[in-house]
Structure 1
Amino acid sequence: MAIIDCPECTHKISDQSVSCTNCGIPTSKMKFLIKCPECFESISNQSASCSHCGFPIAKPAPFKAVPPPLPTQNHTPIVRVNSSRKSKGVAILLALFLGDFGIHKFYLNQVFWGILYLLFCWTFIPAIISLFEVIILLFMNESEFNRRFG
């Protein structure tokens, strides 16, 4: 239950009551009445002008459901940075100290060769080969290293 104002006399009444207790206007007619913005008399909400003072009544614009604006997005180009870039120095150190186990091969994403080095590490052949690879890596320039392993 809510308390509403009578549009005719502005008396407070219940929205459940049949009519205004002050002026007697039926509540069924109340929803069709509005106040004139000029003379404040009750008029029909369908009238184009006030019947008392002649003030033109502006019809409210029909409600159109307008979707909310989409959030603006800053379209910055995505620059892919090669985060898996291998370091030539790290590869040389791994080949020098752990070359017998093929750790430098795993580091350079040559998993097959890394497993092969692990299988034959007991023969010390991978250790000898990794010393040659250290020399090759030392004399390889950065662009060639990045092209092959980057």
Structure 2
Amino acid sequence: MSDAATLKSADEKFCSDCGGVISLKAEICPKCGVRQTAQPNSLGGTAPNGKSKIAAALLAVFLGGFGVHKFYLGQIGLGFIYLLFFWTAIPAIIAFVEFIILLTMSDEAFNNKYGYD
């Protein structure tokens, strides 16, 4: 294989399956058809609907007592329950636990649970 075939520019990446050079924004490799996933331990991963695990976790830790993370994740009913009981501080405690759960959850599990509207 020549050196020219293995070089990539700043706006390209290697396919996770076939190793071909593809666009940095490509979700599916045009050469082999395999869906590209976020790198493990990357902070930039987002779900197909645009929800971010890191954003949800930050909302849970800072504004979780008011249920803001629940509204962000599309769980409107639970968000209102958090708002009704925020004065008891119980939603804040639960939100802190959810913060830890969100941070330790894999990207795949987050996408399966919150990634589709």
TM-score interval w.r.t. the shorter chain? 0.5 to 0.7
TM-score by length of 1: 0.44
Q: CA-to-partner distance for each residue in 1:82-138, whole Å, 9 max, x for gaps?
A: 863210010000000000000000000000100000000000000000000011111
Match of 1:105 in 2: 70
- Structure 1 segments of 4+ aligned residues over 4 angstroms from their partners: none
CA distance in 2, matches of 1:144, 1:130: 18
Match of 2:86 among 113, 121, 128: 121
Counterpart residue identity of residue 76, structure 2 = V
**Paired-residue identity, %:** 57
Q: Which has the higher helix share?
A: 2
CA shift for structure 1 position 149:
0.3
Match of 1:3 in 2: none
Counterpart residue identity of residue 119, structure 1 = L
Counterpart residue identity of residue 135, structure 1 = I
Q: Which has the larger radius of gyration?
A: 1
CA distance in 2, matches of 1:91, 1:134: 8
- Structure 2 stretches lacking a partner, 5+ long: 1-46
Contact 1:85 1:146 in 2 (8 A): no
Q: CA-to-partner distance for each residue in 1:66-96, whole Å, 9 max, x for gaps?
A: xxxxxxxxxxxxxxxx863210010000000
Match of 1:22 in 2: none
> CA 1:83/1:138 → structure 2, altered by over 3 Å: closer, same or farther?
closer
- Structure 1 stretches lacking a partner, 5+ long: 1-81
Counterpart residue identity of residue 66, structure 2 = F
> CA 1:120/1:136 → structure 2, altered by over 3 Å: closer, same or farther?
same
CA distance in 2, matches of 1:117, 1:95: 11
Contact 1:98 1:104 in 2 (8 A): yes
RMSD of the TM alignment (CA)? 1.3
Counterpart residue identity of residue 142, structure 1 = D
